[in-house]
Structure 1
Amino acid sequence: MKYTRQFSLITIVNKEPVYQAFKKNLDTQENVDYELIKIDNSANQFDSARTAYNDAAQKAKGEYLAFLHPDIRFLDKNALADILNEIKKLPNLGVAGIAGSPQQLVNNDRQILTTIVQGADKEAVGTLINKSEKVQTLDECFFVVKHEWFNKHPFTECKGWHFYAVEQSLIALLDHKDNYVVPARVWHTSAGASEDYHYVLIGRQMVKKYGQYFPSINTTVRKWDTKGLKANINSLIYLVKRIITTYLRN
């Protein structure tokens, strides 16, 4: 396939005003050769992020595919260019993004490595980095893969709207690639809390599918232990809590 652009920016749109604000901010970015692919999901045309992104990737003309949420805002005119130029330099690239979690634990818990701010108050959300760092998994808000690699490893058929960047990160590691988080001057305008019971159900699927290869699956939301009865019981308890919370909200 001949790539005619350096980057394809792909985003799923559920609310048009959010997308228009995203696009207005994106239009301020300089020194980036990209195409923007909007996936309209305003009428729930897709039943999973993976299906939607796979469909868009088939149309993409970029050498790199960047999947990002429309609630991302770049904090200065060179923010996007600096992110993407840093990613282009990374060796043995699997998945790269702006927030991630390494395999190494701190006090038996996962770490979040990022420089982004989040939510209405622009709060810091993790351990700051000043250079690219290797991680186990990347957050879904913004992540990048090479188009050539993605053609060999598209998103799986797992349904739903969670863990797609995490799963892609695990697939990359199993393919002997390296995953990275890079410094980014980015504001993720949402609070990032989306772990309803569907999130837990898919998390349990990920543990079942990939747990034999990793002692834990570390995400920016939580650490998922993969071994033993205790890990299974803990995730079941988490599932019940999420179901109760969802029920009370409704």
Structure 2
Amino acid sequence: MISVIICSANSEELQSVRENIDQTIGVAYEIIAFDNGNAEKGICELYNQGAERAKFDNLVFMHEDIEMKTEHWGAKVLEVFAAHPNLGLMGIAGGGYKSVVPSSWYNADLEVNGGFYCNLIQGFKYSGREAFLDYRNAKNEKLTKVASIDGCWMATKKKIALANSFDQDLLKHFHAYDIDFSLAVGRQYDVAVTYEVLLSHFSEGNFSHNWEDEILKVHKKWSAVLPVNADGLDEKTLLRYERRAFRMYFEKQLDKGKTYHELMQICWHARKSRIFKGLKWYKMFVDLWRVWGKADNFE
């Protein structure tokens, strides 16, 4: 039995996904849908309300621009959670390493092998590219532990969602909630990507200035916890990659008009990370100073 929670911005898409869920879920369910077409509330606030209202112990948070492809996928969700008692959060796409460098749920320009796991049919609402099956299962597993997952489809338990509520005070829009929730749940439970549920996601996402602002809030909040290294990668090597990724990130941000003060704040919060303790952070700061020294804008 599953409570499906949806923050809706399009009534036609909502109706379509309602019908799709009814045809494919295969278990008793309810849909808790919020009409948020005017964007009066952030997704975190509505997801928290949905979790509180849910009458079932198993929750699925999902976007409305989705078509579930797996028959009886609800039964599969229940089966996977029953077989993995420490599983707290499951998605269909995720990253095995969540970097200190601000990024989405996958690696931020780090030269690491793998680390990107997914099983979905990816559509392209904004670019117009042809949809394709994006299947990345480097470990050849049914369930892969990760650091964070994509928020287009997320399965969890009601007790976990209530104990690790979406941070509606920090995130008031529609971005970064999935990373924040993954990191919160991952403190006590496993976060994982399943390859036994397939869906079509019609949108590739929109990485706007608002998205960047929300990502920075999450990175500041979790600066003492990052990086999260579910892949068990060599952290000495990762330190070198992180330093280089920071240089690339700052160069891009300077090109976008970020100021010295704004970038310094990001650098300052990174000092809390375990891989940047002491002189390691100082060395990174020197690297970034060289980047800043090339900039014309030091406001």
Give CA deviations for 1:52-88 in whole Å, capped at 9, x if unaligned: 1112222111102210011121114323432342233
Query: Aligned pair in 2 of structure 1 residues 50, 239: CA closer, same or farther (>3 Å)?
Result: farther
Write the letter of the residue equivalent to 2:14: Y
* Residue aligning to 2:183: 170
Partner of 1:210: 222
* Counterpart Cα distance in 2 of 1:194 and 1:208: 22
Aligned to 2:61: 67
Q: Is the 8 A contact 1:98 1:182 kept in 2?
A: yes
Q: Deviation per CA, 1:214-234, whole angstroms, max 9, x where unpaired?
A: 23699xxxxxx9977973872
1:122 aligns with 2:131: yes
Pairing of 1:189-208 with structure 2 (within 5 A): 189-208=201-220
SS of residue matched to 1:211:
coil
Partner of 1:85: 79
Identify if the C-alpha distance between structure 1 residues 227 and 12 changes in structure 2 by more than 3 Å, giving closer, same or farther.
same
TM-score scaled by structure 2?
Answer: 0.67
Question: Following the alignment from structure 1 to structure 2, what is the Cα–Cα distance between the partners of residues 30 and 199?
Answer: 31
Distance in 1 between residues matched to 2:112 and 2:249, nearest whole Å:
15
* Distance of 2:16 and 2:193 partners within structure 1: 25
Q: Secondary structure of 1:61's partner? A: coil
Q: What's the CA shift for 1:242?
A: 10
Q: Structure 2: which amino acid aligns with 1:144?
A: A
Residue from 67, 89, 94 that aligns with 1:95: 89
Distance (Å, rounded) in 2 between the aligned partners of 1:240 and 1:9: 42
- Confirm or deny that 1:19 pairs with 2:14: yes
Q: Deviations over 1:65-115 (max 9, x none)?
A: 210011121114323432342233223122111111112877337732112
SS state of the match for residue 194, structure 1?
coil
One-letter amino acid of the counterpart of residue 143, structure 2: S
Structure 1, residues 7-65: CA drift from partner, whole Å, max 9, x if none? Answer: 1100111011111111121121253121111111122231x110111122221111022
Residues 30, 153 of structure 1: alpha-carbon distance in 2 compared, 3 angstrom cutoff: closer
SS of the residue corresponding to residue 191 of structure 1 reads coil
> Which residue of the partner structure matches residue 154 of structure 2?
143
Q: Which runs of 4+ in 1 moved over 4 A?
A: 225-230, 238-243
Q: Which amino acid aligns with 2:224?
A: Q
Q: Rg: which structure is higher?
A: 2
Q: Secondary structure at the match of 1:180?
A: strand
CA distance in 2, matches of 1:113, 1:205: 25
Q: Deviations over 1:153-202 (max 9, x none)?
A: 1111222211112111111222x311111114433332322211111111
Pair 124,29 (structure 1): closer, same or farther in 2 beyond 3 Å: closer
Q: 1:242 to 1:168 in 2, by over 3 A?
A: farther
Query: Is 2:24–2:69's contact at 8 Å kept on the other side of the alignment?
Result: no
User: What stretches of structure 1 of length at least 5 have no aligned partner?
Assistant: 1-5, 219-224, 244-250
TM-score (norm 1): 0.79
- Length, aligned pairs only: 230
The answer to whether the 8 Å contact 2:96/2:146 transfers is yes
* Structure 2 unaligned regions, length at least 5: 99-106, 125-129, 231-239, 259-299
Partner of 1:7: 2
